[in-house]
Amino acid sequence: MTMNITAPDSGEIHVLGKPMDRETQNRIGYLPEERGLYRKMKVLDHLYFLAAIKEVNRETARARIEEWLDKMELRPWLNKKVDELSKGMQQKVQFIATIVHDPEVLILDEVFSGLDPINTALVKDYLTAFRAKGKTIVFSTHVLEQAEKLCDEICLMAKSKKILEGNLKELKRTHAEGQIRMSLRASAAEVAALPGVSASHPVNGAYVISLVPGTDRQAFLRTAIERHEVNAFSDREPELEEIYLHAVQKAGLAETRTIE
């Protein structure tokens, strides 16, 4: 709806402080999950064509395309048709087309689809640079690890419903309350028996421990040291996947499946 691909049933969409119009739309770069490329068109012709759609003049488009062809290592494929390229190469073409008009807002849907680890890291670096320039990036993905590394603000959705929204650091801080990571010489049963432990489980040679609300951490640590050899003790930051699963369960949207 933001890109005028689908019309809203009601209401208005405001982007960059104004209702959506042609001028505002040209300030947005959109990369869809499905390849939005003409398969029989040559790479260079395609890039010029998409730049023209965004009302970028030929001279400006040439300078920007030349720069990004080298950055994305696409120059050897300039005269190839899109359907002759691998999925990763097509994604590179689509990425350049998304930014060739120097948009203020980037809407990216599964931007890393088809890219190998090297090119994924490359695109991540460019997105970080765009953010440093003050550009807004709306990043949609099912891979929560990517969102965790790239995003400042998140909106988690399940079954088309928003279940959690906010600053990622704040959400992590909130969900980390009462959780610690401890490395000590003790069995799982001995850790579970420590005063103040509500739950614990081993992770990579240590224990992730949830404390009963109101438990004094310093007192807990002193007791643990008195009973066992403690090698490390720190606050434990939950992963975004854990936060998501907790939010889904809290919203009553978790599915129960039987595997036979």
Q: pLDDT of 187-230, one tens digit each? A: 999 999 999 998 888 888 889 888 888 888 889 999 999 999 99
- Which residue, 122, 140, 158, sits at the end of a domain? 140
Task: Give the CATH number of the domain where residue 216 resides.
Answer: 3.30.70
Residue 234 falls within a domain, yes or no? Answer: yes
- Split into its structural domains, the chain has a count of 2
Residue 249 falls within a domain, yes or no? Answer: no
What integer best gives the mean pLDDT of the chain?
Answer: 88
Query: Dihedral of CA 106/111/116/120: which sign?
Result: positive
Task: Report the pLDDT averaged over residues 149-155.
Answer: 91
If asked whether residues 78 and 32 sit together in one domain, one would say yes
Q: Dihedral (C-alpha) 244, 249, 255, 259: value to the nearest 10 degrees?
A: 90
If asked whether residues 106 and 205 sit together in one domain, one would say no
Please name which of 255, 254, 256 lies closest in space to residue 163, comparing C-alpha atoms: 254
75's tokens: 């120059």
- Long-range Cβ contact pairs of 116-119 (< 8 A, separation 24 or more): 116/88, 119/72, 119/88, 119/92
Which residues, in sequence order, are CB contacts of 117 under 8 Å at separation 6+? none
Residue 35 falls within a domain, yes or no? Answer: yes
If asked whether residues 40 and 134 sit together in one domain, one would say yes
Which residues are paired to 202 by β-bridges?
A: 207
If asked whether residues 29 and 105 sit together in one domain, one would say yes
pLDDT on residue 258: 47
If asked whether residues 18 and 127 sit together in one domain, one would say yes
pTM higher than 0.95: no
If asked whether residues 124 and 185 sit together in one domain, one would say no
Which runs of E-coded beta strand occur in the chain? Answer: 14-15, 18-19, 28-31, 105-109, 136-140, 153-158, 161-167, 179-185, 197-203, 206-211, 229-235
Q: Containing domain of residue 46, as a range?
A: 14-140
Task: Give the CATH number of the domain where residue 93 resides.
Answer: 3.40.50.300
